[in-house]
Amino acid sequence: MNNESKREEPRDIITFGINRTAILYNKELLSDPIKYDFQYQSDHLLFQRRRKY
């Protein structure tokens, strides 16, 4: 029994972290959906590449 509880704790911590990340990502996505648009991402990447040189 003790061995099983030792395994459950890290698993619960990891699961909580993954769930929290997903919640925050979805919250950002819903708050500003244009930033997650493919065309916006592509334009931003091209801008960053031009700015680099």
% of the chain exceeding 70 in pLDDT: 91
pLDDT, one tens digit per residue, over 16-37 is 888 888 888 888 777 877 777 8
Q: For residue 1, is it within any domain?
A: no
Q: For residue 2, is it within any domain?
A: no
Q: For residue 38, is it within any domain?
A: yes
Q: Total structural domains in the chain?
A: 1
Containing H/E element for 11? helix 2-31
Q: For residue 31, is it within any domain?
A: yes
- Single pTM value for the model: 0.45
Q: What tokens does 21 get?
A: 């990340």
* Cα distances (Å, whole numbers) of residue 44 to 1, 4, 22, 31: 53, 48, 23, 19
Its domain, for residue 18, covers 9-52
Q: For residue 4, is it within any domain?
A: no
The residue written with tokens 């819903």 in the block is 30
Q: For residue 44, is it within any domain?
A: yes
Contact 25, 19 (CB under 8 A): no
Contact 3, 9 (CB under 8 A): no
Residue 53 pLDDT level (bands cut at 50, 70, 90): low
